[in-house]
Structure 1
Amino acid sequence: MPASGKPTALGPIALGIVGVGKIVRDQHLPALAKDADFRLAAAASRHGKVDGIPNFPSIEAMLEAMPGLDAVSLCMPPQFRHDAARAALLAGKHVFMEKPPGATVSEVEHLKALAAERGLSLFASWHSRYAPAVEAAKTFLASAQLKAAKIVWKEDVRRWHPGQEWIWQAGGFGVFDPGINALSIATHILPPMFIARAELDFPANRDAPVAARVCFRTDNGIAVDMDLDWLQTGSQSWDIMAETDRGAMVLSSGGARLAIDGRAVHEEPETEYPQLYRRFSEIVRAGVSDVDLAPLQHVADAFMLGKRNVVDAFYD
């Protein structure tokens, strides 16, 4: 790999993965196993291991022992991502960052500048943007006049994050961990918007919210309301609804299904992570970065503007 960060050949990108937890086993490893553009060469994690490749206790140990790596995927909690990304960039590696890309907007801005300075690719991987019906929803909304929109993102934290204490700690995002998925879609398909007001519900024994209600407004005053809840059992709700002059749009199942006036117009199986790695390969080979901070900025604004409500303690 030359100093510019651009591969000298079209062979597989040697990748190290950092943070071997549930998302890596459920999504990253299966996607990488089918992607000829990547060769999973190493893993670093305090607790998990990947069979068949060298494993290390830290990214620093991995980078020192594996100088031939071209890139790393960072899948640890966001509170620890900046230092790992910085170490990788300083070592000349391209960086794929799980969502959210960092704990703060300013630290990701710093990483963007560092990647540009080093001629390396940095990727903020908003996986929900790659859900199969998202682009169809964007196309529909571009052809219509928006009147109002609503985001309803409600799921069961005990089902999706069992025993994960980091999500309840300061910087762990709480209900905005899934909520930022909704925002990654909304900022892609809706007009630019800003937060007018917000309420965040914090369990009495936690430092991150379990529910939130956020009111956005577009530049011309169109209301976009968001309702987040992490205690919904049974059927899970991952929906974005829009009223337009061409009918009522519902983007449901986390972006997998699009319906207009109740009629399904787009529905396909989910392939988010294979598409993420396809995009990462594209930007590495092109020598560019892809880092959109809009979803993270909205979360930061919600914490800054939001009224804090203390609610019942949460126990896993």
Structure 2
Amino acid sequence: MKDKISIKDIAKITGTSITTVSFVINGKAKEKSISEEVIKRIQKTVADLGYKPNAFARGLRTGKSKTIGFLVDDISKPFFSRIATAVDQLASSHGYKIIFSSIGGDAYRTKEILQIFHERQVDGYIIAITAGIEEDIKSLLIGKTPVVFFDRYLPEIEGDYVITDNYHSTSKATKHLLENGFKNIGFITTNSEEMQLLDRLKGYTHAIDEAGQKTCTLRLNYSNTEDSTSQIKEFLKKNFFLDAVIFATNYLTMDGLQLLRTSDKTLLSNKGLISFDDFELLKFLSPTITAIEQPIDGIAETIIKILIKKLRVAEKTDLKNNVIEIPAKLNIRESSLSRSKGLK
């Protein structure tokens, strides 16, 4: 027996035509009025031989590859990896496979990956836009292949976006600290113009202003963990009066927590703390750390719902673009409670 089985081989074994075998394999037997006996004979042969249709060849015939391209900055980051897992499971339930890629904000690599996806005839894209690839994304949108963006919103790029409600989530977290007696609350973020980070900063600022308190913000130039920790340490030393701190991202939280392993641990250990983005470690520290949990399942479900709808509509240009903001959950733990309740 040949190593690779073809439709031609199946047709020969079953005594049918290549066209008939193709109709059965592609689920078109009923509409082509192929008899039940012939269908069963072909299906049994396919199963016995372990034949797997060539997805790329099928795509050429049908114009549908049943694949979706997924592009993010770095898929190893917890938020992206969790979204990827959830999206993969949901897409599979609709008969689609996901092709994942990290592009790292590299414009040249982005062009390469988009070209590969184009050649593979992906049916749609799920993209978290990173700085430096905006022009490539605009070029992509000229075509009619459906695209859904998530995490990062760029007003100058029209499209469907599914994002966390960063503004209200951070405002709510800040108010929670204020309600628990913290008055001098600092906010640590990066010197980035990414909309999600700016919205978190605005949410914090609004809550502080509304309470009649003063804002105290560090917008650090992020390069690596060691340098970030150093900048956080200097900020906390300079602003020794702070009684609570909100970290705008999970990696900034991790960089800040590095101080707990040093002689400067009191810079952080005696303050109220909240992390934007939750992760497992925060539940096992002492005190446990309050965190804003991004709605992973809600984001993934909405992405797939929008994309599948776009894939099923023949004329995509008639579909209205939407920006959908999904509320996050504040997981309250010991670090944000009033000192009398939980902070040691």
TM-score range, shorter chain: 0.3 to 0.5
> TM-score if structure 1 supplies the norm length?
0.41
Q: Hey, which of these two has a bigger chunk of strand by percent?
A: 1
Q: Hey, which of these two has a bigger chunk of helix by percent?
A: 2
